[in-house]
Amino acid sequence: MAKPKPDSTPDSPPDRLSNDPRSPYFSTAALERDVGIRFKGVEKTNVEEYCISEGWIRVAAGKALDRYGNPLTIKLTGTVEAWFKSKPPG
């Protein structure tokens, strides 16, 4: 008896995701679906990067920029939940 084939596109976001194109954790497909982040029970809209398994997020530190023009970020630890806000295309 054949096992059912797992869905090729899971309906949950990746464990770790960054919105910086230079990062190895950048994913255009995931970002196009608009990922929602809840950190310590509060929905956040200013998350630059997150990791669910390690329990942290990176958020911009105000309007401060580093010497390369990238926003300075602060790493916050706690419970992280992620979900897709939109349905998959197709």
Question: pTM value?
Answer: 0.81
| pLDDT at residue 1 greater than cutoff 90 | no
56: phi > 0 → left, psi -120 to 50 → alpha, else beta; which? beta
What pLDDT is stored for residue 90 in this prediction? 66
What pLDDT is stored for residue 5 in this prediction? 43
Read off the pLDDT of residues 5-59 as tens digits, 9 standing for 90 and up. 444 445 889 999 999 999 999 999 999 999 999 999 999 999 999 999 999 999 9
Name the residue ranges covered by the structural domains of the chain: 16-84
